[in-house]
Chains A and B, each alone.
Chain A
């Protein structure tokens, strides 16, 4: 990976390269300090010390206690542990007081790690409320308030969205949950035994946010916070779940009882050392780096909109990750753009159905209330530490031509602000009628 014009990597939200400083911090722990932290002899104790050091460091940056840190095998696992672990543990308690299986609240724009977990819980009999977002992708805290129920076990709202970069109002949502628990506490004090005052728990998926935003868990007011190394220039396959003291989870993995019994299995010492180092670097440098990236981001967005007609920004204009640019370039299809850019050595991603496993267009763009064409036309550029203005200028040089070419071959002519599919007549003729904007096409 280099920033010459052979390879321009603009997909840092997918994953990042390893920071060389992280790599050198990990070096010692492969061959020399290879011990198992659970072993009692010196080699083991040294590994334990290193692990404890990493845990203390991560805890410090989260403003948490070391025993509140559970290392996992990545972000997805941390999220699964929070959701399944919380739902399964507290569902049993609810059952004891004669309540239903339990209820969860999440948003429609979560990562699949959250959504698929919630869907799996629905199959087990849990009820899940999927909150809508506004046109910029923001969850309304009032909607959370309205969705809360006595049997709500967990609220899971992401800190920042991976596709459109929108930063959610985590503190406000936490405040609403605290107030709700406060009311429950009063009921308990009055002798109501059918209420569990610890619930609901508040979980946030901070995988995209941890390297860039403030992750002070006290300030955020969350009970559970998941993030991983591979999005912040750390190693892949390592993640962490912050678990507030007093919160209990049913483990996903059983065995030797590592990580306070919540995640058995010999700790990935080199990975965890690298994870902590990556988090430290991000923590120290984020202020300066965010300034640089925000400037590049805004430059890129405004140049895209100047040089290419009909470019619509997806996500919030200001409440967004400093490295995220997501636009719909109307009338063209994302995968075709990606293949063209790839031939120039530029790597980006799209919300077009044509690159997803299920062939569903991006659920995030659709949740913004935009028509299918917007999702198929969406391009995500995520900048990173090695991204320079020259890189972006190169993209700005080649992209307009590609767009021009694809627009000339496209029969679609959307207008910015259009909210229905274009050319509905094209969608008729499957032996069915299609109703679009009050008109029926056959």
Chain B
């Protein structure tokens, strides 16, 4: 029997200014309307083995996450989360929580290898502009894992986020962008003049713009 894919012809969100349409896959919608592993009550750090909270002031979204970890096997037994985030952030975090806890739970080291692309694949894709929303789950998880290492007295395992590569094609890091902003480049255009960042990688533009805003706020308020 031939299965015809369901083609979604109604845009889910239409930009009021540009008319750009965003389509969400059925999996995204399912996770948005029925998020898995949500913490409905307050997320109290002490009640978990690990806790992490992240956000970005420019984007205004926020995520907090609590983990229960089996100390013997270092597998993730439970992941609970809360977010002040859009549909994509909710769906991506819900999917992430399924990925790290399914089949008895992932080992911490394996879970740390999950990249936003992997979440996207499981979700059946996200609109280009919304990819960065899935990064929030990843960031909160890393912070929580560091908290676990701290609590279990394994300081050597704490992952220190140094310079992070933003543009893998040109090997440009967040530090490069920070410097460009400090040198007075205040928008994407002028940062690109200095660094060529994101030229040829449109998928990272959003993150670059966010970083520019973040550093702009930080240094120029």
Does A24 sit within 8 A of B, measured CB to CB? no
Contact A425 B86, beta carbon cutoff 8 Å: no
For window 193-221 of B, CB contacts with A under 8 Å fall at 206, 209-210, 213-215, 218
Contact B17 A353, beta carbon cutoff 8 Å: no
Give bound CA distance, A375 to B59, whole Å: 10
Extra contacts besides A375-B60, A408-B38, A434-B57 (10): CB < 8 Å:
A335-B13, A339-B24, A340-B33, A358-B209, A372-B58, A373-B60, A409-B82, A409-B90, A426-B62, A432-B214
Give bound CA distance, A360 to B84, whole Å: 16
Contact A423 B133, beta carbon cutoff 8 Å: no
Contact A410 B17, beta carbon cutoff 8 Å: no
Contact B83 A409, beta carbon cutoff 8 Å: yes
Say whether, besides A332-B84, A354-B88, A429-B54, A409 and B38 are in contact (CB < 8 Å).
Answer: yes
Interface size class of B (residues with CB under 8 A): 35 or more
For window 73-128 of A, CB contacts with B under 8 Å fall at 112
Complex interface: chain A residues within 8 A of B56 (CB): 427, 430
Does A356 sit within 8 A of B, measured CB to CB? yes
Say how far B22's CB is from chain A's closest CB, in angstroms: 8
Does B125 sit within 8 A of A, measured CB to CB? no
Give bound CA distance, A408 to B42, whole Å: 8
Task: Enumerate 19 A-B pairs (CB-CB under 8 Å) in ascending A order.
Answer: A11-B16, A332-B84, A333-B86, A334-B86, A339-B12, A340-B33, A343-B33, A349-B16, A354-B87, A358-B209, A359-B209, A361-B60, A372-B60, A410-B82, A411-B83, A426-B53, A426-B64, A427-B57, A430-B174
Say whether, besides A409-B40, A411-B43, A431 and B161 are in contact (CB < 8 Å).
Answer: yes
Say whether, besides A359-B210, A361-B60, A434-B218, A339 and B54 are in contact (CB < 8 Å).
Answer: no
- Residue ranges of A at the interface with B (Cβ–Cβ < 8 Å): 11, 14, 112, 331-336, 338-340, 342-343, 349, 352-361, 372-373, 375-376, 408-412, 421, 423-427, 429-435
Interface string of B150-183 (1 = CB under 8 A from A): 0000000000011000000000001000100000
Give bound CA distance, A435 to B219, whole Å: 10
Q: Report the tally of A-B residue pairs with Cβ distances under 8 A.
A: 128
Does B116 sit within 8 A of A, measured CB to CB? no
Give bound CA distance, A433 to B215, whole Å: 10
Say whether, besides A353-B60, A376-B60, A333 and B13 are in contact (CB < 8 Å).
Answer: no
- Residue ranges of B at the interface with A (Cβ–Cβ < 8 Å): 12-13, 15-18, 20, 24, 32-33, 35, 38-41, 43, 53-64, 82-90, 129-130, 132-133, 143, 161-162, 174, 178, 206, 209-210, 213-215, 218
Complex interface: chain A residues within 8 A of B209 (CB): 358-359
Complex interface: chain B residues within 8 A of A333 (CB): 61, 84-86, 89
Give bound CA distance, A434 to B206, whole Å: 21
**Most interface-central of B13, B32, B62, B90 (chain A CB within 10 A):** B62
Say whether, besides A359-B206, A423-B55, A430 and B214 are in contact (CB < 8 Å).
Answer: yes
Say how far A220's CB is from chain B's closest CB, in angstroms: 26
Contact A426 B218, beta carbon cutoff 8 Å: no
Give bound CA distance, A409 to B32, whole Å: 12
Give bound CA distance, A423 to B13, whole Å: 29
Contact B129 A359, beta carbon cutoff 8 Å: yes
Q: Which of B54, B82, B84 is within 8 Å of A373, CB to CB?
A: B84
User: Which B residue sits closest to A380, measured CB to CB?
Assistant: B16
Contact B83 A335, beta carbon cutoff 8 Å: no
Give bound CA distance, A68 to B89, whole Å: 51
Say whether, besides A409-B35, A431-B162, A357 and B18 are in contact (CB < 8 Å).
Answer: yes
User: Which B residue sits closest to A357, measured CB to CB?
Assistant: B18
Say how far A19's CB is from chain B's closest CB, in angstroms: 21
Complex interface: chain A residues within 8 A of B215 (CB): 432
Give bound CA distance, A355 to B24, whole Å: 13
User: Which B residue sits closest to A436, measured CB to CB?
Assistant: B57
Q: Which of A14, A357, A376, A430 is within 8 Å of B61, CB to CB?
A: A376
User: Which B residue sits closest to A340, measured CB to CB?
Assistant: B33
Say how far A171's CB is from chain B's closest CB, in angstroms: 29
Contact B63 A353, beta carbon cutoff 8 Å: no
Contact A336 B87, beta carbon cutoff 8 Å: yes
Contact A354 B54, beta carbon cutoff 8 Å: no
Q: Which of B35, B41, B133, B213 is within 8 Å of A354, CB to CB?
A: B133
Complex interface: chain B residues within 8 A of A376 (CB): 60-61, 84
Give bound CA distance, A429 to B87, whole Å: 24
Contact A339 B32, beta carbon cutoff 8 Å: yes
Say how far B54's CB is from chain A's closest CB, in angstroms: 6
Contact A421 B86, beta carbon cutoff 8 Å: no
Contact B57 A411, beta carbon cutoff 8 Å: no
Give bound CA distance, A10 to B61, whole Å: 26
**Most interface-central of B16, B90, B133, B178 (chain A CB within 10 A):** B16
Give bound CA distance, A267 to B60, whole Å: 46
